[in-house]
Amino acid sequence: MAGIDELTGVLTADIAEVKAQEHQVDCFVVGSGTAGVTCALELAAQGRRVVILEAGPVVLTQHVGSSPLGTRGDLVEALHKKISYRTTWAPAQEIETAEAEIDQWSLAGGRTLLWGGCTPRFFPSDFETWPFDYDEFEPYYKKAEQLLHVSGCEGGLPPFCQGPEHDRVLGLLKEAGLPARHAPLAVDTRAPRNGVIPGGFESSLSRLLRDPLFQDKVSLVTECPVVNLKREGDRIASVEVFHKPTGRRYDLSAQHVVLGCGAMQSTYLALRSGLDSGNDMVGRYVGDHLLLGGALRLKEGLPEKPLYVLIDPDSERLFQVQLEGPFTDLRMPKIHTTSWLNLPDDGRLLLCACFGIASVERDNRLVLQGSPDPGEIAGYKVIYDRSEHDQGVLDSIPPFLRKLGDLLGAEFLGSRAEKPGNALHEFGGLRTGNDPQESVVNPWGRFHHLENLWAADASVFPFQGSANSYLSITAWSLRCAGGILSQ
């Protein structure tokens, strides 16, 4: 641990020094995932002084797929045990007795160090319940795709997975009328030039460390969870933090505060701080993708690897399919998300990660659990009841996978629907909208009744369709930063 401590001492700021200089800070950002880091760097680029407050430690400085651990699932699983905690998602009638089963992580960079890299945009129809349309949001998508070096999208970098075999499979799917394409991935596929090697997989922490604004305009404080947002009138006057290494609490005077620690954590912090007083929309309309995993077995192995294809939804098929492989076993690793980087020669199994479009229900909500302890980051439960619509979407997936197997000359081996929360694409709790009676934040992410508190993550999403949310979170955080700057 000495090596990690030394690295932390170089990369992170001292909380006591931050306290001494608090009046020079323009904005405190809570969380160092893509929402927090993107917003912080955007503000810093315009000369603002920003401090990122992160609850977890520095464990990795780059995405696991770009590190030596990229082909060592066993070591990644061991790492996971050091940085994980569990939360509870359950139907209303089971919430009191339900056990915590949903894995979450607390570390600098958050899930961006362990995620799968898929970065499609939401579709125009997904914005029907947002307070603006797709055309207004598209410029932020373009900027986010450039920022993340997205490959495999129209006009972007070359696909990460390509070759004759990939083209053959894509051709079969398209001939069958399926909207198949190269999976857009946040993997830098530019060729090395002038001694500079591309960054590989996107992670917010590596993006932060590479930026010359880091430590000049943006500081990172780790192992320092925010425990309270102290309100005075229509402002957040200060941010109370608990410094784990010393056990001390600090009140940091705030000019602006941005919540960017993930949909559930941002919502939890708002509720724990009593910000639902006068607005019972705080904590409501929580959702997640419907996740079902399936497997197909090819008659013969593929001569080229890996295969990574995205099949978009259509008007009748309300789910997206990520077709990946070929593997040698049926496990769908939740932690080792880049296991397709080092595939065996005898692999014949294709894994299908299917993300369905869930309905958005007002009573699906986050509730506080127990009394707050210093540094508590799991003091909540999520009441989540799947609707008839949701079950219908899940029921429609296995028949499609069976037909997909027939199309590819593969045997359908079966499927399994995951429990709510396991898709790890949570959204809602602080939804955006124009009407303060029906939403929590305005169309730029500012709380309706608090002039200096903002939400830059998926907590604001009123709907998210079928697409993975990383790109849209990054794009939203750019928009949020623009709102702060305009104010």
**Span 194-241, pLDDT tens digits:** 877 888 899 999 999 999 999 999 999 999 999 999 999 999 999 999
Quick one: residue 31, left, alpha or beta (phi over 0 = left, psi -120 to 50 = alpha)?
A: left
Q: What is the mean pLDDT of residues 103-115?
A: 93
Measured CA to CA, the distance from residue 139 to residue 286 in angstroms comes to 27
Task: For CA atoms 55, 60, 64, 66, give the dihedral sign.
Answer: positive
- Domains of the chain, earliest start first: 2-84+105-150+185-282+425-486 (3.50.50.60)
pLDDT band at 81 (very low <50, low <70, confident <90, very high): confident
Residue 139, number of CB atoms within 10 A of its CB: 13
Beta carbons of 275 and 282 less than 8 angstroms apart? yes
- The neighbouring-strand residues paired with 229 are 239
Q: What b/e readout covers 453-487, taking b as 16+ CB neighbours within 10 angstroms? A: bbbbbbbbbbbbbbbbbbbbbbbbbbbbbbbbeee
Nearest to 282 by CA among 97, 119, 433, 58: 433
Q: What is the pLDDT of residue 8?
A: 72
Mind listing the pLDDT tens digit for each residue in 16-45?
999 999 999 999 999 999 999 999 999 999
Q: What is the mean pLDDT of residues 277-289?
A: 94
The continuous run of DSSP H or E covering 104 comes out as: strand 102-105
Which DSSP symbol is given to 427? B
Measured CA to CA, the distance from residue 397 to residue 353 in angstroms comes to 10
